[in-house]
Structure 1
Amino acid sequence: MEYTTFGRTGLRVSKLGLGGAPLGGVFGPADEHEIEKMIHEAIDGGINFIDTAPSYGRGESERRLGQALAGGRRNDIILASKAVGPGESFDYDNTIRSVESSLARLQTDWIDLLQIHDAEQVPYETVVNETLPALEKLRKDGKIRYIGISTRILPLLKRFVELDRFDSIQFYTRYMLIDHTAKDELLPLTQEKGIGVINGSVLGLGLLADTPAAFLRPPIVEEAARRMAQLQFLRKTEPHGLVEPGMRFSLTQPAIHVTLTGATTCEKLRANMTYCDGRGLEPDELSRVYTLFQGQNLFPSEKEVGK
């Protein structure tokens, strides 16, 4: 397992983190007993960063994670969660309630990193004037340590980074083999500002694993297939031959501190952990990937994703 310093927070984080959406059954059924085993195996294997959210399985991801950590493992990890979620109010009071509920489900007195979830859902002013001040109050009270923000909308993330009130950002499907647009302007800015960066859905909501999420619309799946056909030079194994290069592509990007893996079984977790050994794509392969689809978003809008 490789480790790095999470931006200006000074936290020492594993470059591979465990993503919480699958823990709550977001992408399909997940056996609760297997989930608990997998969380323990992840920690034993050196993963010290776990990311979840109240909206993952309507609190089920947080509940399962809290249960798995209750036996004395809480101090072994850097715990990240999020505030509010789809369809909820991002106002001050509801943000406080959201975090308090997360603390209860997670069976902990503090959350290391609390992120504003999918910030594109509400006006920028609401986040700045309501949600963020609530998190700053919770930080003052010792219930959270650091504050982050998540959205896959790159211009919005850039605007929040420039605000200089966040310790981290999280995006998804913006630095992967078939859409690496985050590298052009956002990642250089986060490096300049000392912002921690978390990369989610590095396999493109299942696209690079040849198992696209059911909610993805046909035009997106078709365009992804066209792009993947141009990456045959990276396929070393079959089936699902783009999983390993896809993981290594993110894990060895210096500006990305944590790459999340969305595993639901110990077997899948073990496979993904083997990729966190510091070995990335060959220089000529990386150059070729960067040349392909330069500046081309795969998911231009929420409508086209299908959510």
Structure 2
Amino acid sequence: MEYTTFGRTGLRVSKLGLGGAPLGGVFGPADEQGVEKMIHEALDSGINFIDTAPSYGRGESERRIGKALIGGRRNEVVLASKAVGPGESFDYATTIRSVEHSLERLQTDWIDLLQIHDVEQVSYETIVNETLPALEKLREDGKIRYIGVSTRILSLLERYARINRFDSIQFYARYMLIDHTAKDALLPLAAEKEIGVINGSVLGLGLLADTPAPFLNPNIIDEAAKRMEQLTFLRKTEPHGLVEPAMRFSLSQPAIHVTLTGAATREVLRANLAFCDGHGLDLEDQQRVYALFQGKSLFPAEKEASK
């Protein structure tokens, strides 16, 4: 396992992190005992970063993670969760309550990294005047250590990164083989500000694993298929042959501190662990990928709620 320093926090984190959505059954049934075994195997294999959220399985992901860490393993983990979520108010009181409930489900006295979940849902003013002050109060009280922000909209992450009140950013499906637009402005800005960077969904919500998420727009699936046809020079012979190059593409990017694996089974976890050997794509292949889709977002322009 490779490790790196998570921005200005000084935390040493594994470059591969365990994503909590599958642990809560978000993408299909997840046996509770199997989840606990997966978490223990991940820790035994050197993963020390786990990312979850209250909305993953309506709290089930947090509860299962908390249960798995009972017995002395909490101190082995940089534990990240999120505040509020879809359909909730991002006001001060709701944010405090959200984190308090997460602490209960996770059975811990502190959360290492608390991120504001999907900030595009509300206005910039609400985030800076309500949500963020609530997290800063929780940090003063010792209930959280660091504060992050998450969204798929890169321009929003850039805006929040510039105010120097966040320790981390998290995006998803924006630094992957068929959409690497995060590298153009966001990653250099995060490096300049010494902000920790978490990359989620490096398989593009299942697109690069040939199993697109059912909620994806058909137009996006079609465009992704066209782009994937141009990546035959990377595809391995085994089923889902773009998974390995996709994982290596992210794991070898020095500006990304944690690449999340949303493993639904221990077999997938083990496969992804095998890519943590320090070898990325060949430089020539990486440059070819960059040239193919330079500046080309896979996703259509999205309305940015936070103005």
Task: Calculate the TM-score normalised by the size of structure 2.
Answer: 0.97
Moved over 4 A (4+): none
Do the aligned partners of 2:149 and 2:169 also contact (CA within 8 Å) in 1? yes
**SS, match of residue 81 in structure 1:** strand
The corresponding residue for 1:215 is 215
The corresponding residue for 1:37 is 37
**SS, match of residue 233 in structure 2:** helix
Map 1:1-307 to 2 at 5 A: 1-301=1-301
Do the aligned partners of 2:153 and 2:302 also contact (CA within 8 Å) in 1? no
Task: Calculate the TM-score normalised by the size of structure 1.
Answer: 0.97
Do the aligned partners of 2:175 and 2:202 also contact (CA within 8 Å) in 1? yes
Note closer, same or farther for the CA distance 1:94–1:244 as it changes in structure 2 (3 Å cut).
Answer: same
Unaligned stretches of 5+ residues in structure 1: none
**SS, match of residue 145 in structure 2:** strand
Q: Quote how far apart the aligned CAs of 1:236 are.
A: 2.0
Instruction: Quote the Cα distance in structure 2 between the aligned partners of 1:220 and 1:294.
Output: 17
Q: What percent identity do the matched residue pairs reach?
A: 81
Instruction: Quote the Cα distance in structure 2 between the aligned partners of 1:213 and 1:97.
Output: 31
Instruction: Quote the Cα distance in structure 1 between the aligned partners of 2:291 and 2:20.
Output: 32
Do the aligned partners of 1:178 and 1:293 also contact (CA within 8 Å) in 2? yes
Unaligned stretches of 5+ residues in structure 2: none
1:155 corresponds to which letter in structure 2?
A: S
Do the aligned partners of 1:24 and 1:61 also contact (CA within 8 Å) in 2? yes
- Which string of whole-angstrom CA distances, capped at 9 and with x for unpartnered residues, describes residues 135-188 of structure 1? 000000000000000001011100000000000000000000000000000000
Instruction: Quote the Cα distance in structure 2 between the aligned partners of 1:219 and 1:82.
Output: 30
**Cα RMSD over matched residues?**
0.9
- Which string of whole-angstrom CA distances, capped at 9 and with x for unpartnered residues, describes residues 238-259 of structure 1? 2100000000000000100000
**SS, match of residue 233 in structure 1:** coil
- Which string of whole-angstrom CA distances, capped at 9 and with x for unpartnered residues, describes residues 193-241 of structure 1? 1000000000000000001111111111111000000000001222100
Do the aligned partners of 1:16 and 1:261 also contact (CA within 8 Å) in 2? yes
Instruction: Quote the Cα distance in structure 2 between the aligned partners of 1:109 and 1:141.
Output: 11
Do the aligned partners of 2:38 and 2:265 also contact (CA within 8 Å) in 1? yes
Q: Quote how far apart the aligned CAs of 1:302 are.
A: 5.8
Do the aligned partners of 1:38 and 1:264 also contact (CA within 8 Å) in 2? no
Q: Quote how far apart the aligned CAs of 1:301 are.
A: 4.7
Q: Quote how far apart the aligned CAs of 1:70 are.
A: 1.1
Do the aligned partners of 1:34 and 1:264 also contact (CA within 8 Å) in 2? no
Instruction: Quote the Cα distance in structure 1 between the aligned partners of 2:265 and 2:228.
Output: 26
- Which string of whole-angstrom CA distances, capped at 9 and with x for unpartnered residues, describes residues 67-99 of structure 1? 111122111100000000000000000000000
Do the aligned partners of 2:91 and 2:126 also contact (CA within 8 Å) in 1? yes
1:295 corresponds to which letter in structure 2?
A: G
Instruction: Quote the Cα distance in structure 2 between the aligned partners of 1:236 and 1:85.
Output: 38
Instruction: Quote the Cα distance in structure 1 between the aligned partners of 2:265 and 2:74.
Output: 21
Q: Quote how far apart the aligned CAs of 1:300 are.
A: 2.1
Instruction: Quote the Cα distance in structure 2 between the aligned partners of 1:176 and 1:284.
Output: 16
Instruction: Quote the Cα distance in structure 1 between the aligned partners of 2:302 and 2:87.
Output: 15
Do the aligned partners of 1:175 and 1:181 also contact (CA within 8 Å) in 2? yes
**SS, match of residue 228 in structure 1:** helix
Q: Quote how far apart the aligned CAs of 1:27 are.
A: 1.1
Instruction: Quote the Cα distance in structure 1 between the aligned partners of 2:266 and 2:302.
Output: 32
2:270 corresponds to which letter in structure 1?
A: R
